[in-house]
Structure 1
């Protein structure tokens, strides 16, 4: 939106506001979506905060782990982490 006319909204007595439609469209926001705020000096950056389900299924099992039960994979990962930590003197 750089170079475009600024949009405005009003803060209510409860500290609420409505995001202007141009902002909602630019961030692809829908009702119920979450947003995050980052303070940068005297400005605030608003970002779409996707939920956990947005990344569901994006992680694939390693080829040698396909079909392994989650509990078993977690146990094996923990054992490997503990072995590595012991080698580095962290455990």
Structure 2
């Protein structure tokens, strides 16, 4: 019998017809869905504008002051979430 795999938003699953006798020699199929955690996602300036509810010039000023570490990539400016968390912690210390 041919093995049939179905891929959807939840990953890859093996399809076994109902009339086919089940055997214990099936090979487990790993879930290969590409779930990206928010911690691993690089943020754009637009993301920071939404997150902090500030203007783009404010973000650029934070970069110039050294409060944000930018990651220039192919003409884009990206930010690592850990750097954003550090900025938030630093601002909490200043404002407290």
TM over 0.5: no
Structure number with greater CO (CA < 8 Å, separation at least 6) is 2
Whose strand proportion is higher, 1 or 2? 2
